[in-house]
Amino acid sequence: MRKKLIAVIGGHKAEEETSKIAFAVGKIIAKNNCILICGGKGGVMEAAAKGAKQNKGTTIGILPGTEKEEANDFIDIAIPTALSSARNAVIARACDLAIAINGSYGTLSEIALCLAMNKKVLGIRTHDVAGIIKLNGVDEITKYL
């Protein structure tokens, strides 16, 4: 059976509390035998990938630029796209489920793309958008995986 691809979307910069949440989300994804897919850079993406890697998970980074080296240290499979923020559409199309954590306009665009593609989006401390399943904490994620 094919493993689920779970997108973690959020800001490229993250405060300590947001990073802790993203790290915990990454751990849950790995513990549930799913693959984490993200934008491959810093902030929420890096914290989630680090959580997944510490639990022997697999991570994929869909990068905005042309070089694999721009991926954070916790990305196993780095895919440079040269698409800048248009890579958000690749992440949205590839994922089976998205988890939005905090974030700004880039995260908002990923949420919109996922919802437009009929993908389920879970939200933790993120935008208030119709269609997002708001979670109070990371422990609620497992029932959607």
Segment 119-125 mean pLDDT? 97
Segment 52-60 mean pLDDT? 98
For residue 60, report the phi and psi dihedrals to the nearest 5 degrees. -125, 135
- Mean pLDDT taken over the chain: 97
Sort residue 82 into left (φ over 0), alpha (ψ -120 to 50) or beta.
left
Segment 7-15 mean pLDDT? 96
- Length of the chain (residues): 145
Band (1; pLDDT cuts 50, 70, 90): confident
Looking at residue 72, what is its pLDDT?
A: 98
* 112 closest CA partner among 129, 93, 87, 135: 129
Provide the 10 A C-beta neighbour count for residue 56. 8
Assess contact for 50 and 74: CB atoms under 8 A: yes
- This prediction has a pTM of 0.97
In this model, does residue 62 exceed pLDDT 90?
Answer: yes
**Every domain of the chain and the residues it spans:** 8-17+42-94, 96-101+116-145
Looking at residue 111, what is its pLDDT?
A: 98
Q: What is the pLDDT of residues 12-46, one digit of tens each?
A: 999 999 999 999 999 999 999 999 999 999 999 99
Sequence-ordered list of residues with C-beta below 8 angstroms from that of 126, at least 6 positions apart, any chain: 10, 100, 101, 102, 103, 107, 111, 132
Share of the chain above pLDDT 90, in %: 99
DSSP assignments along 122-141, one per residue = EEES----TTEEE-SSGGGG
Coil, strand or helix: which one is 96?
coil
DSSP assignments along 20-79, one per residue = HHHHHHHHHHHHTT-EEEE--SSTHHHHHHHHHHTTT--EEEEESSS-GGGS-TT-SEEE
Segment 39-56 mean pLDDT? 98
